């Protein structure tokens, strides 16, 4: 995957992450040092989904760089079911 294609897949991700971070609240200690971050649960779920998407894109990129051919979705589902993963 070229850098341009990666940009296409990640368009809007940084804006979504920025929006999540801007809503975050910080827990501070007595000296005012940030110790933890609080997010609304829907924001946490969205952040996890975005990170999973980024991870998937990286895996696809690595597969393409290794020269591996893509497999059809139906074949992938069948292989996952054979491994006991319910799709």
Domain limits of the chain?
Answer: 3-82
Phi, psi of 15 (to 5 degrees): -65, -40
pTM for this entry: 0.62
Residue 49 structure tokens: 């989904």
Angle ∠(66,70,71) on CA atoms, nearest 5 = 135
Radius of gyration of the chain (CA): 19
pLDDT digits (tens, 9 = 90+) for 46-56: 999 999 988 98
Average pLDDT, the chain: 85
37, pLDDT greater than 60:
yes
pLDDT at 4: 41
Beta bridge partners of 60: none
């Amino acid at each position: 995957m070229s850098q341009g294609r990666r940009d296409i897949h990640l368009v809007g991700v940084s804006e979504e992450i920025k929006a999540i971070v801007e809503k975050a609240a910080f827990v501070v200690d007595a000296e005012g040092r940030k110790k933890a971050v609080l997010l609304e649960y829907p924001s946490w779920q969205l952040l996890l989904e975005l990170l999973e998407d980024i991870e998937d894109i990286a895996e696809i990129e690595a597969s393409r760089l290794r020269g591996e051919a893509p497999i059809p979705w139906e074949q992938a589902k069948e292989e996952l079911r054979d491994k006991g993963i319910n799709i």
